[in-house]
Structures are given as C-alpha cells and as structure tokens.
C-alpha cells in the first residue's frame, strides 16, 4: 500500500513509501522512515505527489506512538505554505520540536500547569462584565472579536474570565504575546488568577520545558499556553480559543527565516479549527480597524480605566523656546516638572527608543564615521561594553583609531541613546536609584524578573527605557513619563511609520497613572505642531485611523491592496541586480498587478550581502501567490544568490 509521507525538510511535497507494518496508518500519523542515509520523522500526508519518474519505493520503519496531527492542523500547514510561499516541509518543521516529536511521558511534570479551582478575588466592573457577556453571547464557533480598551482598562481580566468558560469545557487555550520580555510580569498575573504556573513557549524556553509543553499539548494535559509567535504552530489536541494580546504590535511579524504575520496566521488557524479568536488592543492596527468598519469583525470596548483612574495629561515642551544646554538632552523646564513628581515619591520614566550611548560616532578632525564593515549602517557606541556595536549583524569593534596626523581620532558622539540619558540623569540625581530597561538589559530571564519586581515595588526612582517598556507593563507608582526625543519624522521607505508612532506613543502614555494618581506625559520636541503629536495629545486615535484608511485607499496600499516583497541578496551587487531584472521578466503579467523595482534596498548591505528588492502590488481579492509560486518554481537560482519572499511586508529596510 502506497503511503505519502511529508518530512520537515525544504521540499514542497510528500514522498511515497510503502507500509508493511502491522498497525494501520492514517493521515496525520507520525512515522519513522529512511530518508537519504538516515532515518527521520515524518507525517502521513493526505495526498500523494504525482510524478512520471520511476523510483524504488522504500518501506516505512515504524509508526510513532504520539497523538496524530488532526485534519485542521494539516489544513493549516498546507494553507500557511501556500499563503506565505514557504515549502510545505518547512511549514511542518515549525510544528515539531527540532524536526522531531516527543515520545516520553511527563505525567508528574504536568501537575504544576494544572489550573486550580478559581477563588474569584477579581471583580469585574460593569463595563468589563458587558464585554465578557458580549463575547460569551457570540459563542464558541469561529468569530473574530476585538476587545478594544484604553490602556489600564482591565482587558486582561475580561479574557481571563472568558478562558475559564472554555477550560471548564475541557478545551485548550493559546494566549499570544508580542514580546518575550512581557511573559515574566504577565505570568505572575496569570498565576494569581489561575493558581498554576503558565506553560510559556518562546525561543528562550529551555529544551526540557519545550519537550514537556509539546507533549502536554498533544495529549491534552496542558490546558493553557502563553507564547510568542512560534507557539501558534503547536499541535493542540483540543484547542478552544486563541487570544492575540496587543494585536497591533509589529513584533507579530517575523522577518528572519520564514516570514509570516502571527496575528493573521492565528485568525486563519482559528477559522480552520472553527473556534473563536479575540484580538486585544488599545488601538487597533489599520487592518483590524478596516475589518471592524466593514463589520467582518465584532468589537466590544472598555472606555474607562480600571477603578476609574484618569488618563494622563499630555504636555508638549517646545525645545525651540526651552533650549537645551550644550551636551545635554533634557531641558531645564523638563527637570523642574519631573522634580514635582519625584518630591511626591512617584516614579518617573524617561523614554528614548535608542539602545546604547550614541547612535553614531565621527572624528572631529578627519570626519571619519564609524560604520559596520558588514552592513551599510552606522555603528552604535555602547558605553557599558566600551564597544561599537552593529544592531543588525552584532559586529563589535573598539573606538581606537589613528587619524590622518597619526594621532588618535578626536571623537564626537552624535545623538543620545538610553545609556547617555542615564549618564546625564546620574549627574542631576546622584542619590536616586536609576535603571535602564532595554533589550540589552532584559536579556536574561532571572535578571528581567528581578528588575521588573524592583520597579513594581518602587525600589527604582527613575526608569530609562526603549519601546519594550511601552508594552503591557504595570508599574503602580509610575505617574510621570518624559519622551526625550519626540521625533515623528518617517523614513521614506516605511509606509507604516505614522501608524507605528500613534500606537507606540498611545501605549507608552498608558503606562502612567494606572492606579488613579494624577499623571503627566511630557513630550520634548522641535516639532510641536506635528499632526501625530497633536492627535496623541487629543487622545483620539480613531480620527487618525479614519484618515489613514482614506489615504491608504487612495494610494492603493494595504489593507486595500496586497504587497509581496522579493528580496534578492548576494556578495556581488551587479549580479543581484541582473538576477532581479531576470526575475521581474519571468513574473506573471496580469491586470491591476504592479511590479515595482528592482531597486537597491535602503540598507543596501547586510551581513556582508548586497540586497535589492522587487515589490509586487495587487488587489486584495486576487490570490496572486498561486501564480507567483508557479513562476518562482520554474526559475533557476544563480549560485551565490538568495531569494526570499515576504508576503505582507512590514519592514522595507
């Protein structure tokens, strides 16, 4: 009997085997089979690859005693492959653990994840109850419901209560979070509510824990998983709901390796599983907002903060009149405002979305600019490391360099990063406890927990943070935020810059005054009349979303049109441009489909490879991937050249 088997390899089709084992084999069963010189794990696939080639059919070695992939998961793998133009085998690989399955049982280890009987010490207010009842009324079949609420309105409590409904029915739950750093504070809230440890799945989860969670998910012993993007591919036995928290966050888009948008893929998975999905946000993404307007998605809103806490006041500090002294980045006017909060015992956050000490360094004598040898970008100086660092490829180098007069360069550190703000604040407030919160300081999980607990218990007076701190954190005594450099100018290649800025700064302002105290967000800026800044100060994101939708429609941009980016990279600039021109000539020519480029990417060189881009634009109702895959599969890739496909790109650098 012929059996098609799909392997977690870079093939777009299953391979044909025969079975002489005693057990019957069905679609979705895991098997071991010879492949090349070794024996590997594969999945029995529902269809055979048709071929005219004659080949010797090998035998399946054995059936693995692990719960099979259900039909909806197989459909999801297939759809994911077609939509994102990813080989079928690579889509399967994302569902497995190191290209394999977990056969071992961990019954004792599952106990810590067992949700206890809830003693309800959390009481929902009228608005929260209304949203919860709305979500219950819609039911447990597929629907997309947006839970939209101002920051600090208690959205998490609402969906925690909704989760209880489904757990009591024996179903499983997936909660997606955009950032790994969020999981530590979130998991403590989870533990308080559910009386159990959460099963956390992300790239930093230890191998043994991943094995336990994978096995517990497949046999239904683990009911709730909190995870980053990759948790979407876990083969749940009985999934009942998906929650996408901070649905607007661009971190849901994966750009490295296999490109996909986890939020959009989650909606498809919920549709195939026929289960509800909740998108949770303070400001919807443009795509989500458009679907609300078109009545494709349901929406329920929380318009007041929990315990009736008021939103922070917004104050703009015009740096043209409140001039900065030489070598300083914080205005005297700002410091006097901050002092009022520090004197009351409140916490203050200085926000600057730049890691390190200075974004670039030049020599005052010879004009030499320190650039990455592997990428066409400036090196950032990190004072703590005393090194120049590339934020793209990780290249490190020292500051020492001989100038044209054979003496050391006279260095000028241009612009501030969070470390530079730290140095300035240490001089102003030598007796205050000051800490930097960025991806550099929040890398190790134990250290992250320690730092966050210190901030929560007000053992830190002044926090200095990047955009990581804008997402979902709760610091009870934080009542003053200073945006050090309110720069709303966009890079010309980022069509979403306005949307990203609105979402970032609305999220950020929501960190202040969450416990009901008077709070203020100060924006230091040279552009006090900027439209985005004025929109934030009026606290009217929907006005922006409506205007942005009209602009996107007029310019034929998402969500009305689909974009697909082809990125061609290689060590020779001329070769990649020639190959890109060849690709363009082979792409399908269709009405209303525009092929733009090829052009060199804004960051022309990355990790020693030159890069150029082709951008395909087509109407949303045309599934162009079908025609594109046919064209790309016929092409012969020139040796030394890499072709990547990014469907629905967010990053155009």
**CA 159/CA 164 separation, integer angstroms:** 9
Tokens read off for 518 = 């008077």
Calculate the alpha carbon distances from 441 to 379, 446, 465 in Å: 19, 11, 10
Domain identity same for 527 and 586? no
- At 387 the pLDDT is 94
**CA 35/CA 94 separation, integer angstroms:** 19
- Residues in contact with 152: Cβ distance below 8 Å, sequence separation at least 6, in sequence order: 305, 306, 309, 474, 510, 513, 514
Q: Does a structural domain hold residue 205? A: yes
**Helix 183-194, helix 155-167: angle, nearest 10:** 50
Domain identity same for 131 and 62? no
Q: Does a structural domain hold residue 367? A: no
- At 291 the pLDDT is 97
Q: What is the CATH number of the domain that holds 636?
A: 3.30.70.600
Q: Which residue has the tokens 């604040």?
A: 425
What is the four-CA torsion angle of 499, 500, 506, 509, rounded to 10 degrees? -150
Domain identity same for 577 and 524? no
- At 447 the pLDDT is 52
Cis peptide before 231 (omega within 30 of 0): no
Q: What burial class does residue 418 get, using C-beta atoms within 10 Å of its C-beta: 0-12 exposed, 13-18 middle, 19+ buried?
A: buried
Q: Does a structural domain hold residue 398? A: no
**β-pairing, 609-619 with 561-570?**
antiparallel
Residue that wins the pLDDT comparison between 36 and 234: 234
What is the four-CA torsion angle of 527, 530, 534, 537, rounded to 10 degrees? -40
- At 347 the pLDDT is 95
Domain identity same for 593 and 578? yes
Q: Does a structural domain hold residue 395? A: no
CA–chain centroid gap for 66, Å, is: 31
Domain identity same for 124 and 56? no
- Residues in contact with 291: Cβ distance below 8 Å, sequence separation at least 6, in sequence order: 144, 297, 559
Last residue of a domain, one of 49, 68, 87: 68
Q: What is the CATH number of the domain that holds 267?
A: 3.40.50.300
Q: What is the CATH number of the domain that holds 61?
A: 3.40.1440.60
DSSP state of 236: -
Q: What is the mean pLDDT of residues 102-113?
A: 89
Domain identity same for 625 and 545? no
358-380: b or e for each residue (b if 16 or more CB lie within 10 Å)? bbbbbbeeeeeebebebbbbbbb
| pLDDT of residue 442 exceeding 80 | no
Q: Which residue has the tokens 């399946």?
A: 60
Domain identity same for 50 and 170? no
Q: Does a structural domain hold residue 509? A: yes
Domain identity same for 498 and 441? yes
Domain identity same for 439 and 513? yes
**CA 470/CA 628 separation, integer angstroms:** 39
Tokens read off for 23 = 């057990």
Tokens read off for 52 = 């005219």
Considering only CA atoms, which of 505, 449, 516, 440 is closest in space to residue 478?
Answer: 516
Last residue of a domain, one of 497, 529, 549: 549
Is residue 359 a contact partner of residue 380, using CB atoms and an 8 Å limit? yes
Q: Which residue has the tokens 């591919």?
A: 233
Q: Does a structural domain hold residue 364? A: no
| pLDDT of residue 322 exceeding 90 | no
Q: Domain range for residue 141?
A: 107-307
| pLDDT of residue 455 exceeding 90 | no
- Quick: pLDDT tens for 223-281: 999 999 999 999 999 999 999 999 999 999 998 889 999 999 999 999 999 999 999 99
Last residue of a domain, one of 307, 322, 345: 307
**CA 212/CA 511 separation, integer angstroms:** 35
Tokens read off for 414 = 């241009």
Tell me the pLDDT of the chain averaged across its residues: 91
**What is the count of structural domains for the chain?**
4
**CA 345/CA 477 separation, integer angstroms:** 8
The side-by-side arrangement of strands in the sheet containing 380-382 is: 380-382, 387-389, 396-397
Domain identity same for 537 and 625? no
Calculate the alpha carbon distances from 100 to 63, 93, 95, 609 in Å: 13, 8, 9, 32
**CA 390/CA 397 separation, integer angstroms:** 9
Q: Does a structural domain hold residue 84? A: no
Question: What are the helix and strand counts (H, E) for the chain?
Answer: 17, 29
395 membership: H or E segment, kind and range: none
Domain identity same for 288 and 348? no
Domain identity same for 206 and 150? yes
Q: What is the mean pLDDT of residues 488-501?
A: 71
- Quick: pLDDT tens for 535-549: 888 778 888 899 999
Q: Does a structural domain hold residue 622? A: yes
- At 489 the pLDDT is 61
End-to-end CA separation in angstroms for the chain = 51
36 membership: H or E segment, kind and range: none
108-112, 403-407, 519-523, 632-636: which has the minimum mean pLDDT? Answer: 403-407
314 membership: H or E segment, kind and range: strand 313-318
Considering only CA atoms, which of 146, 350, 264 is closest in space to residue 620?
Answer: 264
């Amino acid at each position: 009997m012929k059996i098609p088997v799909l392997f977690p390899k870079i093939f777009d089709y299953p391979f044909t085997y025969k079975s002489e084992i005693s057990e019957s084999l069905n679609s979705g069963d895991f098997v071991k089979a010879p492949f090349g010189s070794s024996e590997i794990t594969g999945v029995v696939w529902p269809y055979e690859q048709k071929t005219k080639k004659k080949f010797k059919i090998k035998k399946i070695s054995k059936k693995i005693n692990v719960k099979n992939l259900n039909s909806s998961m197989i459909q999801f793998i297939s759809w994911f492959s077609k939509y994102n133009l990813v080989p079928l085998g690579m889509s399967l690989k994302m569902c497995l653990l190191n290209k394999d399955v977990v056969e071992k049982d961990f019954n004792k280890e599952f106990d810590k994840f067992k949700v206890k009987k809830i003693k309800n010490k959390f009481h929902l207010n009228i608005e929260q109850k209304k949203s919860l009842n709305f979500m219950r009324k819609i039911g447990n079949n597929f629907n997309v419901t947006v839970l939209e609420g101002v920051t600090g309105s208690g959205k998490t409590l609402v969906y925690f209560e909704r989760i209880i409904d489904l757990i009591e029915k024996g179903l499983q739950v997936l909660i997606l979070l955009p950032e790994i750093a969020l999981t530590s504070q979130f998991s403590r809230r989870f533990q308080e509510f559910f009386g159990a440890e959460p099963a956390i799945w992300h790239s930093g989860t230890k191998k043994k824990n991943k094995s336990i969670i994978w096995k517990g998910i497949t046999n239904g012993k683990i009911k709730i998983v909190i995870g980053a993007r990759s948790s979407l591919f876990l083969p749940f036995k009985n999934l009942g709901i998906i929650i996408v928290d901070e649905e607007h966050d661009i971190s849901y888009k994966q750009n490295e390796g296999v490109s996909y948008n986890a939020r959009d893929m989650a909606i498809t998975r919920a549709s195939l599983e026929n289960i509800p999905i909740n998108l949770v946000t303070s400001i919807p993404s443009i795509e989500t907002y458009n679907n609300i307007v078109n009545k494709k998605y349901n929406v329920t809103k929380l318009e007041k903060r929990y315990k009736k806490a008021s939103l922070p006041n917004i104050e703009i500090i015009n740096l043209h009149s409140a001039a900065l002294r030489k070598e300083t980045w914080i205005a005297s006017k700002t410091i006097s405002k901050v002092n009022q909060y520090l004197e009351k015992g409140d916490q203050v956050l200085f926000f600057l979305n730049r890691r390190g000490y200075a974004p670039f360094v030049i020599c005052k004598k010879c004009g030499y600019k320190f650039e990455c040898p592997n990428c066409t970008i400036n090196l950032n100086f990190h004072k703590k490391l005393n090194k120049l660092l590339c934020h793209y490829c990780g290249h490190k180098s020292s500051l020492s360099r001989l100038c044209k007069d054979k003496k050391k360069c006279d260095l000028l550190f241009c612009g501030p990063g969070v470390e530079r703000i730290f140095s300035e604040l240490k001089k102003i407030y030598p007796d205050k406890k000051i800490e930097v919160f960025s991806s550099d300081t929040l890398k190790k999980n134990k250290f992250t927990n320690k730092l966050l607990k210190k901030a929560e218990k007000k053992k830190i007076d002044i926090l200095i943070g990047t955009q990581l701190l804008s997402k979902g954190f709760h610091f009870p005594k934080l009542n003053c935020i200073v945006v050090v450099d309110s720069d709303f100018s966009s890079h010309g290649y980022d069509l979403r810059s306005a949307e990203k800025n609105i979402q970032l700064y609305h999220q950020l302002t929501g960190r202040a005054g969450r416990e009901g105290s008077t709070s203020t967000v100060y924006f230091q800026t040279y552009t006090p009349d900027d439209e985005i800044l004025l929109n934030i100060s009026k606290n009217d994101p929907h006005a922006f979303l409506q205007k942005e939708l009209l602009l996107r429609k007029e310019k034929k941009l998402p969500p009305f049109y689909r974009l697909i980016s082809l990125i061609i990279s290689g060590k020779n600039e001329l070769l990649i441009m020639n190959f890109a021109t060849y690709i363009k000539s082979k792409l399908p020519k269709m009405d209303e489909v525009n092929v733009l480029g090829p052009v060199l990417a804004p960051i022309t060189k990355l990790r020693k490879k030159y890069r150029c881009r082709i951008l395909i634009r087509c109407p949303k109702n045309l599934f162009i991937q079908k025609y594109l895959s046919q064209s790309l599969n016929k092409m012969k890739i020139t040796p030394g050249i890499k072709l990547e496909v990014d469907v629905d790109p967010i990053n155009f650098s």
